[in-house]
A and B are shown apart, each in its own frame.
Chain A
Amino acid sequence: NAGVMQNPRHLVRRRGQEARLRCSPMKGHSHVYWYRQLPEEGLKFMVYLQKENIIDESGMPKERFSAEFPKEGPSILRIQQVVRGDSAAYFCASSPPGLSGYEQYFGPGTRLTVT
């Protein structure tokens, strides 16, 4: 049973470019969460999605950031016009239906570096 998968594991973008981060939840999981983690800081919640629905995006900046979880395919976190402050580790977590937010399983993360 494959765990949560994220790709790419490392992403380098120049300021102003777009970054696309992908997350495939564990098999059978229908809830996806995106978090950002800066060095020496905790996990900051960004957005919570179910298939084709954004449930809670209260932690996601209103500008430049968007997320989706289509009926088919992985969840995508998209950052437009990246800035140096976007450099961080972005983790995706999934949880099974009916247990939203109770037990989360994390992917290996995508480390975004903006140059």
Chain B
Amino acid sequence: RKEVEQDPGPFNVPEGATVAFNCTYSNSASQSFFWYRQDCRKEPKLLMSVYSSGNEDGRFTAQLNRASQYISLLIRDSKLSDSATYLCAVTPASGGSYIPTFGRGTSLIVHP
């Protein structure tokens, strides 16, 4: 099993739709979780951190399910500009160097 797995998609949704992505991780001791957004041929940009209690930023909601070892990202009222690849990142709890492992990303296409 890969350390961090994401459905590559693409998720093809109309404007205004609600869409959700999951990201599963294999290390139960993982401590920190993040969602990044990456546009085509651009760098990843930090979208939001994922806290145990869940967190919301406008149309975006991130949640953590430790029991099932996955994090999720929910996007409400999708905009055309949300079209991008969404990467999750998981950082181990120990080991010294705290290097995050990134998923391969989920592609989202929002169409008119």
Query: Which of A's residues lie within 8 Å of B, judged by CB?
Result: 33, 35, 41-43, 45, 48, 55-56, 58-59, 89, 91, 100-109, 111
Residues from chain A with Cβ under 8 Å of B46 in the complex: 103-105
A33 to B43, CA, bound (A): 14
Residues from chain B with Cβ under 8 Å of A105 in the complex: 46
Question: What mask results when residues 50 to 65 of chain B are scored 1 for a CB within 8 Å of chain A, else 0?
Answer: 0000000000000000
| Interface assignment of B21: CB less than 8 Å from any CB of chain A | no
Would you give the shortest CB distance from A16 to chain B, in whole angstroms? Answer: 27
| Interface assignment of B25: CB less than 8 Å from any CB of chain A | no
Residues from chain B with Cβ under 8 Å of A56 in the complex: 96-97, 99
Residues from chain B with Cβ under 8 Å of A109 in the complex: 42-43
A56 to B103, CA, bound (A): 20
Residues from chain A with Cβ under 8 Å of B103 in the complex: 42
Residues from chain B with Cβ under 8 Å of A89 in the complex: 41
> Looking at chain B, what size class is its interface with the partner chain?
20 to 34
| Interface assignment of B27: CB less than 8 Å from any CB of chain A | no
Would you give the shortest CB distance from B86 to chain A, in whole angstroms? Answer: 12
A102 touches B32 (CB 8 A): yes
A11 to B41, CA, bound (A): 15
Would you give the shortest CB distance from A97 to chain B, in whole angstroms? Answer: 13
A45 to B4, CA, bound (A): 13
A105 to B34, CA, bound (A): 12
Would you give the shortest CB distance from A5 to chain B, in whole angstroms? Answer: 11
A103 touches B49 (CB 8 A): yes
Would you give the shortest CB distance from A96 to chain B, in whole angstroms? Answer: 13
Residues from chain A with Cβ under 8 Å of B34 in the complex: 103
A43 touches B102 (CB 8 A): yes
Residues facing A in B61-101 (CB within 8 A) are 87, 89, 91, 96-101
